[in-house]
A and B are shown apart, each in its own frame.
Chain A
Amino acid sequence: MRSYLVESSELVHRIRHDFPILSRLENGKRLVYLDSAATSQRPVQVINAVKHFYEQMNSNVHRGLYEMSEEATQAYEDARSNIASFVGAKPEELVFTRNATEALNLVAYSWGRANVREGDVIVTTEMEHHSNFLPWKLLATEKNAKLEVVRITDEGLLDKGCLEEKLKLGPKIVAITHASNVLGTINDAKAIARKAKDAGAVCVLDGAQSVPHMPVNVKEIGCDFMAFSGHKMLGPMGIGGLYGRYELLEDMPPFLTGGEMIKEVHIGEVNWNDVPYKFEAGTPNVEGAIGLSEAVNYLRNPGMNWVRSHEKELTAYALSLMANESSVHVYGPLDAEKRGGVISFNIDSVHAHDVAQILDTEGITIRSGHHCAMPIMDRYGIPAAARASFYIYNDKEDVEALIQGIKKVKRVFSVE
């Protein structure tokens, strides 16, 4: 409750204090970090949790019978429970993966290979990150199945009519992003999951850009699988999660094989381990899980409702200032209600790379390129775009710095 009593700006000020990296200089200037959609920064609490693991309990999990290993196992499983509850799942429904990419590949490889047959339909969309597009494209090719792609409107929203058409084909899988990493568009995951279910499909949600930025509850949404990455939500790199409905996970064959994921191995016969361990071959990223659990604790206060409203406010502010800048084109919906804190844009006759490089001279770090979403670039007929993205530690000063940076780009390139 504390957070609601504190003014937002004061809260952001306190949050910024927890992120050591924000006090470094970038090209001699105050670091304005606007690339959280690529990877977020980590608070000192997360860094300390990882450090604590290495200094106090580093040992392998689920193997040792000594005190220290029991402690590590307990910490790893506590992390699983904590992270699972953060997205509304049961602990046994959360498989630790390296990131969202691996989680999506796991579903395509394991569930997909076991269930998709020749002639089946897989539905995905034009606004996907390559990691929720390529696994399905490969699966479709391998199984001789059909990949159907839902188009997006000029505004950057999912074309609902097109989605309905594709659902009529009776797909086996509907794989869709919850929030676009380029357009910012937030899709109505609950409605889509219901429609997918009605059509007899399994709904796979890419939560990489939603779980860090808004309240997400897999049971309320009703999806069958959901993937997310720890490093985009204040956690360490190399840890992420796959939520899978228990019955589905139980029926699925393993993904990677090796240690940990078996009960018994004999030369003639193998018994796989229980869910979720069946999908966690080899020594897992224990410190990653512990760090991510601490990140989840960090996000719980101020809470995800605050995170969403804070980013919405920054996004609306940035969009209003950018609308006043001639020659600047923003992609995706212009209504902050419909989008997350990700703003992709271009400046007339300036390549996105040059935008990013000139902003960097002012200490402003943004992403430029195709954002691993080339179908979106094709859709808008652009080779690349610049992208600024916000998180809990950004403030209005950062937005204003971005606008000043854009003005500088226009000066250097003599753009009116």
Chain B
Amino acid sequence: MSDDLYRELILDHYRHPSNFGHLKDATGKYRDSNSNCGDVIQMEVRVKDGKIDDVMFTGVGCAVCIASASLLTENVKGKTVEKALEMGEPDVLGLLGLKSITPERGKCAMLPLKVLKMSLLQGQKQA
């Protein structure tokens, strides 16, 4: 199961993450960390007409965390905020191509989605 984690999909997105960087005119921004491992992810989103127009991330983390952020940002572009807020662990595991994950590594995989949702909610509050 552990060897599964290090398939090319995850390693590729770890080495060359998509949407890595900062966003101009972000409508929402949020940063959070995993208390036990030191993974840090920041998401910057731009919402237009209830849809995610663009999203970028920065941070440091393990392969699972960075690949999750990379795949997630690719996936949610064009989605409605409502749909993005409905996403959960099965969606993230699906993006990573994993059937299951251990509780500890689950925290790494889920951090980007958690941060994305917070950035969307923060954007809504400010709007």
Contact = CB atoms under 8 A, between A and B. Distances in A.
Given A357-B5, A377-B38, A413 B11 contact: yes
Interface string A17-29: 0000000000100
B126 interface: no
Contact of A353 (B11, B37, B40): B37
Given A360-B2, A361-B3, A383 B105 contact: no
A370 B38 contact: yes
Nearest to B37: A369
Contacts of B63: 350-351, 353-354, 413
A27 B2 contact: yes
B5 to A, nearest CB: 7
Given A383-B39, A383-B40, A413-B11, A353 B108 contact: yes
B50 to A, nearest CB: 35
B62 interface: yes
B60 interface: yes
Q: How large, as a class, is the contact surface on chain A?
A: 10 to 19
Interface in B20-38: 36-38
Given A351-B62, A353-B62, A413-B11, A358 B36 contact: no
**Most B Cβ at <10 Å: residue of A27, A350, A353, A358:** A353
Contacts of A383: 38-40, 60-61
Contacts, number: 51
A361 B3 CA distance: 7
A412 B6 contact: yes
Contact of B2 (A351, A361, A368, A384): A361
A114 B65 CA distance: 46
Contacts of B2: 27, 357-358, 360-361
A368 B37 contact: yes
A389 B79 CA distance: 47
Interface residues of B, number: 18
Contacts of B38: 352, 369-370, 377, 383-384
Nearest to B66: A351
A237 B63 CA distance: 33
Interface string B37-73: 1111000000000000000000011111100000000
Nearest to B2: A361
Nearest to A350: B63
A170 to B, nearest CB: 36
A350 B5 CA distance: 14
A361 B36 CA distance: 21
Interface in A70-129: none
A357 B105 contact: yes
Interface string B55-97: 0000011111100000000000000000000000000000000
A327 to B, nearest CB: 15
A384 B39 CA distance: 8
A27 B102 CA distance: 14
Contacts of A357: 2, 5, 62, 105
Contacts of B37: 352-353, 368-370, 384
Contact of A354 (B3, B40, B60, B62): B62
Contacts of B105: 353, 357
Interface string A363-387: 0000011100000010000011000
Contacts of B60: 351, 383
Contacts of B64: 353-354
Nearest to B60: A383
A412 B12 CA distance: 11
Contacts of A361: 2-3
A350 B14 CA distance: 10
Interface string A183-225: 0000000000000000000000000000000000000000000
A312 B105 CA distance: 33
A352 to B, nearest CB: 8
Given A351-B61, A351-B63, A357-B2, A369 B36 contact: yes
Contacts of A352: 37-38, 62
A354 B14 CA distance: 11
Contacts of B40: 383
Interface string B1-16: 0110110000100000
Pick the 8 closest A-B CB pairs, nearest first. A353-B62, A351-B62, A383-B38, A384-B38, A361-B2, A369-B37, A383-B60, A354-B62
Given A352-B37, A358-B2, 16 more contacts: A350-B63, A351-B60, A352-B38, A353-B61, A353-B63, A353-B64, A357-B5, A357-B62, A360-B2, A368-B37, A370-B37, A370-B38, A377-B38, A383-B61, A412-B6, A412-B11
